[in-house]
Amino acid sequence: MRLRPGNEAAPPLLVRRSLERIFGGSARVDQVKVVELSLFARLHGRAIATTRRRRIFLRGSAAEFFSDPVLMLHEYCHVLLQWETGSLTTLRYLRECLRRGYWNNRFEVEAREFARNHQFQLRELLRQGM
């Protein structure tokens, strides 16, 4: 069997527009590539997803991801508010993990907090169909 690197998947229109509403004008949701069933994500231990600049790599399917508001907010926060601004780099992330572990590293703390603070807004946008 040949190992495939993963499939690219675009968010449904409603999801994309709702995320754009939350992340604001300068953050480009449409520039973020989402890769499902990603080999790269599977190489990252037990993580459900891993991010890089303008990329979200999912262990599972895109359909699952795009129906999970908290997870989407968390991962798009890493990409649009951390990678895109330059605050998150691979080196800084590893340094934070060594210093504080996975759960308490500042990038994870910020992404969890962002997801918590915006989950109701995103659910509401999705429910209303905008």
Give the footprint of Zn ion on this chain (CB under 5 A). 108, 111
We find the least distance from the C-beta atom of residue 51 to Zn ion, in angstroms, to be 7
We find the least distance from the C-beta atom of residue 13 to Zn ion, in angstroms, to be 25
Smaller CB distance to Zn ion: residue 29 or 111? 111
Would you call 46 exposed, middle or buried from its count of C-beta atoms within 10 A (0-12, 13-18, 19+)? exposed
Strands 49-52 and 7-9: unpaired
Smaller CB distance to Zn ion: residue 72 or 111? 111
Smaller CB distance to Zn ion: residue 18 or 51? 51
Q: How far is it, in rounded angstroms, from Cα 110 to Cα 74? A: 9
